[in-house]
Amino acid sequence: MISTIKKYRAFFIVLICVGFLTVFNRSIGIKALTISAKSFFEMLFVIPPVFVLLGLLDVWVPRESMIKYMGEGSGIKGILLSLFIGSAAAGPLYAAFPVSAVFMKKGVSFRNVIIFIGAWSTTKIPMVIFEIESLGASFALTRLLVDIPGIIIIAILLSKFVGKEEIKEIYENAHQMNNLD
């Protein structure tokens, strides 16, 4: 019981704060609860399909293929594949992190994992189409021309400046996360 409370203490603290908020300002408290419930149910519809797809990726795609196409020696093809997969992905950014953990388990380089997360967060195809329709093609294309090199530069810099031990620890944590079953 105590370990459960410690494990979820942040949740309980937020729950208590929302309770106090509701007592002092009922409308804001109800609005906070409504938004939280909406987000929770949205996650219920996003997370299960992501984990099904991750299971399929884990089983169907051999580690050797991932290393060949997205591993340390993959070069430009790994960068382009990471950009494409991240841009073609669907769903909110929090769904990218379990995918990244599976990528790490499969031997994808740290640089390409960072590029994948960057592409997922900024270059999604539906978002680009929306920008073209709403803000114009010149805006959308200019943003892409800035974002794509920016993502690649940031990934290269991170892979150079983050220590080998830290990267090793990140990969070990990803392996532990995937071995919880």
The per-residue pLDDT for range 89-132, each reduced to its tens digit, is: 878 888 889 889 989 999 999 999 999 999 999 998 888 899 99
In terms of Cβ atoms closer than 10 Å to its own Cβ (0-12, 13-18, 19+), residue 164 is exposed
Q: Quote the pTM value.
A: 0.77
Mean pLDDT of the chain: 88
3-state helix, strand, coil in the chain (%, to 5): 85, 0, 15
- Neighbouring residues of 82: CB distance < 8 A, sequence distance ≥ 6: 70, 108, 112, 113, 115, 116, 119
Distance CA 55, CA 145 (A): 34
Q: What is the pLDDT confidence band of residue 178, given thresholds at 50, 70 and 90?
A: low
Distance CA 109, CA 93 (A): 20
Whether residue 161 is predicted with pLDDT greater than 90 in this model: the reply is yes
> What is the model's pLDDT at position 144?
93
The percentage of residues in the chain with a pLDDT greater than 70, rounded to a whole number, is 98
Give residue-wise pLDDT tens across range 137-158. 999 999 999 999 999 999 999 9
Query: Which H/E stretch holds residue 129?
Result: helix 125-135
More confident residue, 62 or 113: 113
Give residue-wise pLDDT tens across range 19-37. 898 999 999 989 998 998 8
- Amino acid 133 reads E
CA torsion angle 60 63 68 71 (round to 10): 120
Whether residue 51 is predicted with pLDDT greater than 80 in this model: the reply is no
Whether residue 179 is predicted with pLDDT greater than 70 in this model: the reply is no
- Neighbouring residues of 122: CB distance < 8 A, sequence distance ≥ 6: 147, 151
> What is the model's pLDDT at position 181?
46
More confident residue, 120 or 46: 120
